[in-house]
Amino acid sequence: MASNSQGIQTWYNYSRRPPMRKSATTTVDLSAYSLILATGLCDPTIRPRKEILMTAIKHREPESAAQKWIPVLLICLLGIFGSIALLYFFPAFDALDLMMLLVVTMFAAVGWIRGTIRGIVSIVILYIATGVAALAYRAVTPYVGGVLEAAKFNLAATAAESVTRGSMAVSFVLLTILVWIILEIVAKVAMEDTTIKGIGMLDSLVGILFYAVLGILVAALLFNMIGYGRSRPAHDRAYLRPAFRAVLQVHYMSQSFWFPQGPPPIYVYDLNVQ
């Protein structure tokens, strides 16, 4: 009798609830429907009423902010403490090496949220963005250099005086960021959901790997830009210089067909390229 009363109450509660819209992220509460069947309130050989099925659908709980960001913070902390440990135990490491390792760490942490496909897309986008920047940075350097000179209150500087190795490096970085942002927006609009269904956490773990690769490439490019400006001595002293130079060598060789008239100096000043 108690079981029958419980079934009646469950059926009543579900029949009184307004139907909810079904979406791709909903699941059916089968336990309540099974209880209705067990108490004889519905014949299992008859197709259930639409109202009962619709009210038996509930939305899956969204991922909380803690579930989303705690792994990111843990990866960042591990990277920070690991970088500091390297700086402490290996005297050859200096502040510039530490800064580049932190860049790699931050990108790897973002990979947990962005996932595998976004990681692959972002690597392709950076490849395109740096190629465009390498082709166009010399054309925009006089304008960027003029702004930099104005920021230093050197309003009498001519266009020729504003074109320095430092302003060229800044122009390259700004162009890369601009093209990167534009292409990321296009990719976001074209592919709203890039989650790989059915693999769960593996999507995030592989995303970390791809974004770590992206971070290494960004760090190598940034390290190269720093050396092209006034910080060449710090660039040459860095312990990670050979590793970043090898990464940049591979990156340049993959883009060499972009530059039929010769390699851009900002790319190859530290490479064995003629």
**Which is more confident, 109 or 191?**
109
Banded pLDDT at 191 (limits 50, 70, 90): confident
Write out pLDDT tens, residues 238-268: 999 999 999 999 999 999 889 888 888 888 8
| pLDDT average, residue stretch 208-221 | 95
Confidence of residue 60 (pLDDT cuts 50, 70, 90): very low
What is the model's pLDDT at position 162?
65
Domain boundaries, the chain: 2-59, 65-268
Q: pLDDT value at position 154?
A: 62
pLDDT of residue 90: 84
In the prediction, which pLDDT does 254 show? 92
Predicted local distance difference test score (pLDDT) of residue 265: 87
- The pLDDT value given to residue 55: 46
For residue 54, the model assigns a pLDDT of: 45
Q: What is d(CA 259, CA 270) in angstroms, rounded to the nearest whole number?
A: 17
Contacts of 59 (CB under 8 A, 6+ apart): 20, 23, 25, 26
Other CB atoms within 10 Å distance of the CB of residue 11: 18
Looking at per-residue pLDDT, the higher value among 222 and 75 belongs to: 222
Q: Read off the pLDDT of residues 112-131 as tens digits, 9 standing for 90 and up.
A: 888 888 999 999 999 999 99
Average pLDDT rounded to a whole number, residues 219-227:
93
Q: What is the pLDDT at residue 4? A: 52
Model confidence at 28, in pLDDT bands (50, 70, 90)? Answer: very low
Kindly tell me if the per-residue pLDDT of 48 is higher than 80.
no
Q: Which of 17-26, 175-184, 239-248 has the lowest mean pLDDT?
A: 17-26
Q: Looking at residue 129, what is its pLDDT?
A: 96
What's the gap between Cα 213 and its chain centre? Answer: 11
Is 0.85 topped by the overall pTM?
Answer: no
